[in-house]
Structures are given as structure tokens and as C-alpha cells.
Structure 1
Amino acid sequence: MKCEMEPVECRAVIRFLYLKGRTPQETFDEMKETYGDDAPSYDLVKRWHRVFKHGRKSVETAPRPGRPPSAIDEASVRQVGATILEDRRITIRQIAQEVKISTGSVETIIHDHLHMNKVSATWIPRLLTPFQKQERIECSRMNLEMCQEDESKFFKRLITQDETWVYHYDPETKAQSVQWKHLDSPPPKKARVQPSAGKVMLTVFWDQDGVVMTDFLAKGTTITGAYYAPLLRKLREAIKIKRRGKISTGILLLQDNAPVHNSHVARSEARACGYEILPHPPYSPDLAPSDFHHFPSMKLFLKGKCFPDDAALISEVTSWLEDQPGVFYKNGLQSCIKRWEKCITLGGCYVEKD
């Protein structure tokens, strides 16, 4: 029968009766009478009588040989933390060698005590200076203030523009190549492929209702201020045809800070066309709706497709642009509000998600 008494208490009583001169049987009988079912077994009483007879005086549990005590203590936690701060790319094995504890102990310290994990750096367009961050905050605040005066009118007036390369062949992403297979069949394989050399520069102007105008740069032509200025004139004519009455409300043009857009000839033409250019900070694709909303969806659609020439590529891109529902374009522009707000909240740092 299992003894329900605490081990130290049980041994203390047995030793007391042993020193009183009781025999093992007498000790057992007295403890049985006093503790009832909680009393230790006769075999246990007899064994401890024998132990005390051989000279043992302590009733505490003796340390047992075997697994050593844990290497995790305050000192090792501090040492691991300091080692990581010296080199944030250090491996667990290197930390274990430095601190002279097991890799398992290092993992426990890192995750359970320091609450750290190892992650890859996030790619961002540029490491912004304090001045650039402040410029992003000011532009976001100015655009928000203009929007909040009359949100409906603001988006009715707004047209955004940007350029991007589209390729004759752009390899599909890893996620796109996922396919089902049987457990006993080998995984599929494919060769690593780079985007093709054949490509076309797309310029697209769009608003909350859809695409207003597109332009595909001809081969051998470079996009410059002199090339871009006539596009702004063509845009005005396209607005008259596709967005009747929009010119009279006044056009707000949102474009990035590319040298082409900021050239003297382009800005002069924008003023002549009556466009009001919204402020947009440099190095800020996260605040450009084409970059964070429009182009990613379009390029995902084009990935994995192969086009024999420019004409086939241009036809596919044009069809995709026309097939997108109005809500796609409306959501893209209205998400600017959250982006501007988040940019201000983050102190000018890049906005990774809405």
C-alpha cells in the first residue's frame, strides 16, 4: 500500500521511534494506529530502520546521481542575451559553444526567457533619412486634409498615373506552381527561369471608374520629359471622351516623383492642361496606388504566360485592364486614405500593408 504521508515526515517519525528503541514491527504498529491508511508499509518501515541503524541521521531526500541540474539560470540567460546583441546573425550552435551550454538550453532561453525569434530582414525600397520620413508625413497629411474636406468630390477629381515594365515572359511564382500529388509520387520539379529580355514599358492613367488612358512605349524610345508632356495633353482629350464633365470639376493628378514627372516641360504642360498635382514624397511606392494595388494584381495574372511579340503582350495587358470591375479601381484609390493615415502613425516609415 502506498504511503500518503510526506516522505520527510514519514522518515522523521520512523527515526524518532527508532531512537526510542522501538523495533520495526512496533514502529509499524504505532504508525498504523496513529495514521491509519496513510501509514507507510511494513517493508518501508523496516528498510528505514536498517538505514538509520547503519548511521544515517538526515531524513531529507539525498541528491540522486544522473541528470545534472538545469544549465538555465539568470547568469546564462544574461550571457545568451548579450551574445545575441553582439551578433544578431549568430547561430544557436555558436551561442552554445560561446556560453558552454547545450543547444537545447540555448533554444529554451531564446524562446521562453528572452522571447526572441530569428527572422529575415524585410526588403524596403530605401533606408529613409529622418528628413525623408518627415516629408512623407507632411505629404500624407496634406493629401488627407484635402480628402477630408469633401471625400466624394476628392475621388471624383482624382486620376493617378504610373509606369511599369511588362515582360514577354515572367516566370510564375512558387505559390502559383503548387499542385496536388499522391503521397508516394515524387514532388514536381522545374528549372529556375529569369524574366525574358523582351519587355514593354506601360504607362497607365486611371481613376475610381477604371482606366482612362494607356500608353506603350515604342521600341528604341526612352521616356523623357519631352515624351511625357504630350501624354498629359492626350490624357486631357481622353478625359473629355471617357469622363464627360470631369474636366470642369478640376483634375487632381497623383504621380510619383520620377525625374520625368518633375521635369520642367512636364510640369509646364500639367499646368497648361489645368491639372493640380498632388504632393507625393520621393522613394514612396507604398503610397502610390498603382504600385501597391494595380500593378501587383496585373503582374500576377501575367506570370507564367509567354507572348511571342510586343503586339500579343499589349493585347493581353489591354484586355486585363478593361476586364477589371469598377470596384477594383475604386478600392485601389480609396485605400490611399488608410495608407496616408498609417504613414503618419508610423512616423514616416514604410507601410507594408493597409
Structure 2
Amino acid sequence: MVASFITISSHLVLVPLKDHRTVPAAWYTSHCLPQIISAWCQRQPNTGTQGLQLHQDNTSTHTAWLTFAFLEQNGVKLLSHPPYSPDLAPCSFFLFLTVKQQIRGQQFETPDAALQAYMHAMDTMPSSTFSHPFEQWFHQMEKCVAAGGSYFENI
């Protein structure tokens, strides 16, 4: 399993979730989020975390006080996510499907080989590939707001 974080122009960071069936907030705030912040600050050396906004779903890891405290302490803004709309994140409706299509039919001898194939698929995606999902995400969020945050299929 891998945690993927993307921007409007590329992937930002991939964090392998080795030996994790679930992701505890302590691990998320000590391993995953620092990598996101570091990668963002390398791309934006003059502004630090200013302008960094995360959109994540409402899993217990993402809504834990430890996660909120970490994000606030590091000046990261968090975009709200409707409680019953799991398919609004670009990773859900775009990224995982796109990578899955690229590696479909391949067999991997080890989890590391599968991870390498995933990373290769991400590395070879043109930057233009990433802008459309963000436009689509914006329109999906508008529809969700218009529906009062209610969940419905295929928005």
C-alpha cells in the first residue's frame, strides 16, 4: 500500500506503507506528513508551507487530534471533506485508476516490485495529466455543495 500526494502539476510524494494494514495517526504525523511538508518546501523555498492545503478524507487518522495539531503547528491548511463522499479526492477518482490501468496485467514477485512499478508509473506521467483531475475535483465539490453534502453515486 502507498500514500500518494499530488499537486496540480505532478506527484508530490509517495510514502510506502510497508507492514501497515491501517495507518495510525502517530505514524501519519511522524512519517507521512513530514515528507509532504519537506517536498512542498523544496518546491516552494521562499514561502515554506504558506499556500500548502491538504484535502484528505475523513478516516480516523485524518481526523485525529494529533493530525490536526500537527497540521496547525506546521501552518498547513486543511480543506474540509463531506462526511459521506469518499470519492471526491483526486487520488480516488483519478490517480489510482490511472496507475492501475498502466500496470494492469503485470505480475509482481514481491511487494517491493509492485511498489517500484507504481512509482515508475507516477514518474512517467506527464505533468499535463494532473491538471484535468483538479478541474474535475472542483466541479465535483460544487455538485456536492449544491446537494448539501449528501452522498450520491457518480458525481
Common topology (TM > 0.5): yes
Distance 2:134 2:34 in 1: 23
Corresponding residue SS for 1:247: coil
When residues 220 and 293 of structure 1 are mapped into structure 2, their CA distance, relative to the original with a 3 A threshold, is closer
**Aligned residue pairs, count:** 153
Distance 2:20 2:41 in 1: 31
Q: CA deviation at 1:227?
A: 0.6
Q: CA deviation at 1:346?
A: 4.7
Q: CA deviation at 1:211?
A: 0.9
CA contact (8 A) 1:289 1:332 kept: yes
- 1:242 and 2:48 are equivalent in the alignment: no
When residues 339 and 314 of structure 1 are mapped into structure 2, their CA distance, relative to the original with a 3 A threshold, is same
CA contact (8 A) 1:285 1:292 kept: no
1:274-319 superposed Cα distances (whole Å, 9 cap, x missing partner): 1110110123123111111111111122221100002211111101
1:114-150 superposed Cα distances (whole Å, 9 cap, x missing partner): xxxxxxxxxxxxxxxxxxxxxxxxxxxxxxxxxxxxx
When residues 338 and 220 of structure 1 are mapped into structure 2, their CA distance, relative to the original with a 3 A threshold, is closer
TM-score (norm: length of structure 2):
0.88
Which structure would you say has the larger Rg?
Answer: 1
Identify which of 294, 298, 307 aligns with 2:95.
294
Determine what percentage of the aligned residue pairs are the same residue: 24
Q: CA deviation at 1:247?
A: 2.8
- 1:335 and 2:115 are equivalent in the alignment: no
Distance 2:77 2:61 in 1: 17
When residues 322 and 251 of structure 1 are mapped into structure 2, their CA distance, relative to the original with a 3 A threshold, is same
- Alignment partner, residue 225 of structure 1: 25
- 1:352 and 2:140 are equivalent in the alignment: no
Q: CA deviation at 1:329?
A: 1.2
- Alignment partner, residue 209 of structure 1: 9
Distance 2:139 2:130 in 1: 16
Identify which of 115, 119, 132 aligns with 1:318.
119
Identify which of 44, 66, 72 aligns with 1:271.
72
When residues 243 and 316 of structure 1 are mapped into structure 2, their CA distance, relative to the original with a 3 A threshold, is farther
Distance 1:245 1:207 in 2: 18
Distance 1:243 1:329 in 2: 18
When residues 218 and 344 of structure 1 are mapped into structure 2, their CA distance, relative to the original with a 3 A threshold, is closer
When residues 342 and 241 of structure 1 are mapped into structure 2, their CA distance, relative to the original with a 3 A threshold, is same
- 1:252 and 2:60 are equivalent in the alignment: no
In structure 1, stretches of 5+ residues that fail to align are 1-200
When residues 342 and 271 of structure 1 are mapped into structure 2, their CA distance, relative to the original with a 3 A threshold, is same
TM-score (norm: length of structure 1):
0.40
| 249-258 or 343-352, which deviates more | 343-352
CA contact (8 A) 2:84 2:151 kept: no
The amino acid across from 1:352 in the alignment is: N
CA contact (8 A) 1:233 1:273 kept: no
Q: Note the 1:161-180 alignment, pairs <5 A.
A: none
Q: CA deviation at 1:243?
A: 3.8
1:49-100 superposed Cα distances (whole Å, 9 cap, x missing partner): xxxxxxxxxxxxxxxxxxxxxxxxxxxxxxxxxxxxxxxxxxxxxxxxxxxx
Corresponding residue SS for 1:280: coil
The amino acid across from 1:223 in the alignment is: V
When residues 314 and 234 of structure 1 are mapped into structure 2, their CA distance, relative to the original with a 3 A threshold, is same
1:153-204 superposed Cα distances (whole Å, 9 cap, x missing partner): xxxxxxxxxxxxxxxxxxxxxxxxxxxxxxxxxxxxxxxxxxxxxxxx1101
Q: CA deviation at 1:349?
A: 4.2
Distance 1:344 1:235 in 2: 28
Corresponding residue SS for 1:313: helix
- Alignment partner, residue 27 of structure 1: none
In structure 2, stretches of 5+ residues that fail to align are none
Corresponding residue SS for 1:212: strand
Q: Which is bigger in relative contact order (C-alpha 8 A, separation at least 6)?
A: 2
Q: Note the 1:38-53 alignment, pairs <5 A.
A: none
Q: CA deviation at 1:257?
A: 0.4
